[in-house]
Chains A and B, each alone.
Chain A
Amino acid sequence: MAHIKLTEGLPGIRGLFAFRPETAKPLCELAEVLLHQPNSLSAADRELIATYVSSQNDCFYCQASHGAIAAHHLEGNETLVAQVKESPAVAPISDKLKALLALAGKLQKGGKHAQHDDIENARRQGATDLEIHDTVLIAAAFCMYNRYVDGLATWASQDLNSYRERAAAVATGGYQRIPGAIG
């Protein structure tokens, strides 16, 4: 049971958005810019970073929902999502994304864990300043979203199909319409 009284049946962060629309608005806008708006990193790459950090933070709801959105962007390749969560270094992804996931993994542990070498490695694989910035902020933001979802003990469906069904709408329509759709 959640630590505070939330609308029944709204899973994870969606129950919290309905409880507090004033904070839902900037939280959704941030996800929209980082994960959905045009970027030199594909939407799939960015969702994989979000999923990996959520997995490292052991947040079931966030890794299931963003993992499903990542898989949707990857034509349903759930195996790749599982491989990235398991070990980004050996997953069949580009060297640049491996370097950015390594950086995101450092951020998950704490800001000071990101060292000069991690940045240089990403840059050698072709990452731009903007891509490095966005990777750092995606990882930092999911350290927030994950703590928000688990810190209030929100309910999460165990049925993975429910995440697959929702993923298409978010992958296509983005995050900004979410608060309105609930409220």
Chain B
Amino acid sequence: MPHIQLADGIPGILGPMLFRPETAKPLNELAEVLLRQPSTLSPGERELIATYVSSENDCYFCQTVHGAVAAHHLGGDEELVLKTKANPSTAPVSPKLKALLKIAGKVQKGGKSVLSEDIDQARQLGATDLEIHDTVLIAAAFCMYNRYVDGLATWAPDDPEMYRAQGARLAEEGYVSSTEGVGVGTH
């Protein structure tokens, strides 16, 4: 049961977002800019970074829903999502994405864990300053979203189909409207 009174049957972050729309707005806008707005990193790559950090933080809801968004962007390749979560350094992703996932893993442990050599390695593999910036901020932001979701003990469904459906919806419609229509008729 969630630590505070949230609407019944609303999964993960959507419960606290409906509880506090004033903070939901910037939280959704941040996700929209980082994960969906045009970038030299593909949406699939950015969702893999979000999924990997959520997995390292052991947040079931976030890693499952963002894993589903990533898979949707990757033509349904759920295997690649699992391999990235298990071990980015051996997953069949580009060397540049491997280097960015390594930075994201360092950020998950703490900001000071990121070393100059991690940044140099990403840069040698073609990462730009903007891509490095966005990788660090995606990783940092998921250290927030994951704590928000688990710190309030929100409910997470088990049904993989629910996550596939929600993943497809988020991939196509984005984050700004994520709470629209949710919870209508549940009270």
List residues of A whose CB falls within 8 A of some B CB. Answer: 3-5, 16, 19-20, 22-23, 25-27, 29-30, 33-34, 37, 57-59, 106-107, 110-112, 114, 116, 119, 129-130, 132-134, 136-137, 139-141, 143-153
Contacts of A30 in B (CB 8 A): 23, 26-27, 30
Task: Name the 7 nearest CB pairs between A and B, nearest first.
Answer: A150-B111, A111-B150, A140-B147, A144-B144, A147-B140, A29-B26, A26-B26
A20, chain B: closest CB distance, angstroms:
6
* Stretch of B14-22, B43-51, B66-74, B90-98 contacting A (4+ beta carbons < 8 Å): B14-22
A to B contact number (C-beta, < 8 Å): 151
Q: Is the interface of B mostly helix, strand, loop or mixed?
A: helix
Q: Which residue of A lies closest to B107 (CB)?
A: A151
Contacts of B37 in A (CB 8 A): 22
Beta-carbon contact of A140 and B151 below 8 Å: yes
On chain B, the number of residues with a Cβ less than 8 Å from chain A's Cβ atoms is 49
Tell me which residues from 25 to 83 in chain B have a Cβ below 8 Å from any Cβ of chain A: 25-27, 29-30, 33-34, 37, 57-59
Beta-carbon contact of A33 and B140 below 8 Å: no
Contacts of B133 in A (CB 8 A): 4, 16, 19-20, 152
Beta-carbon contact of B150 and A112 below 8 Å: yes
9 additional A-B pairs beyond A3-B132, A151-B140, beta carbons within 8 Å, are A5-B129, A23-B134, A25-B26, A132-B3, A133-B152, A136-B151, A137-B148, A139-B147, A152-B132
Beta-carbon contact of A29 and B25 below 8 Å: yes
* Stretch of B112-120, B157-165, B177-185 contacting A (4+ beta carbons < 8 Å): B112-120
B4, chain A: closest CB distance, angstroms:
4
List residues of B whose CB falls within 8 A of some A CB. Answer: 3-5, 16, 19-20, 22-23, 25-27, 29-30, 33-34, 37, 57-59, 103, 106-107, 110-112, 114, 116, 119, 129-130, 132-134, 136-137, 139-141, 143-153
